[in-house]
């Protein structure tokens, strides 16, 4: 699987910058950022209209879901996009080690642990899908 275009759904600037640096080190050429579900949906719809679909979405679990602070927003946006036939692979990046049905993996994020090494292994598996 070629991964050139990634959407990161994350409401923390600091965490997004960590993910952004990691993705750049993986030679990802295009990275967009949404801080909430509304913006994520808008970006996915716009990319589909322009014929430049995302190859992967990396999403936190806890963020604003259409005006509500929601601990399950990541899973909800994945399911919403799937219900609209946007079948973009999802990876969750969270401070909890989630196992979400329908996602292709989880990055157990903590800036004090070596989350990048685990993520490299996940990206290797994704690229070989």
The domain spans of the chain are 5-127
Order of strands, edge to edge, in the sheet holding 5-9? 30-34, 5-9, 56-59, 90-94, 105-108
pLDDT value of position 16 = 97
* Confidence tier at 96 by pLDDT (50, 70, 90): confident
Does the domain spanning 5-127 belong to CATH 3.30.930.10? Answer: no
pLDDT value of position 123 = 87
pLDDT digits (tens, 9 = 90+) for 51-95: 999 999 999 999 999 999 999 999 999 999 999 999 999 999 998
Please give the distance of CA 49 from its chain centroid, rounded to a whole number. 20
Question: Tokens 């990319």 label which residue?
Answer: 47
* 49: CB partners within 8 A, 6+ apart: none
pTM of this structure: 0.95
């Amino acid at each position: 699987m070629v991964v050139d275009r990634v959407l990161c759904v994350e409401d923390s600037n600091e965490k997004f910058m960590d993910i952004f640096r990691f993705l750049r080190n993986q030679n990802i050429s295009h990275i967009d950022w949404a801080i909430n579900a509304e913006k994520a949906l808008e970006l996915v719809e716009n990319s589909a209209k322009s014929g430049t679909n995302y190859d992967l979405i990396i999403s936190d679990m806890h963020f604003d879901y259409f005006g509500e602070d929601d601990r399950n927003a990541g899973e909800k946006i994945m399911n919403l996009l799937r219900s609209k036939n946007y079948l973009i692979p999802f990876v969750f990046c969270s401070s909890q080690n989630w196992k979400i049905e329908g996602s292709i993996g989880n990055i157990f994020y903590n800036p004090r642990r070596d989350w990048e090494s685990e993520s490299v292994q996940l990206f290797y598996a994704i690229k070989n899908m």
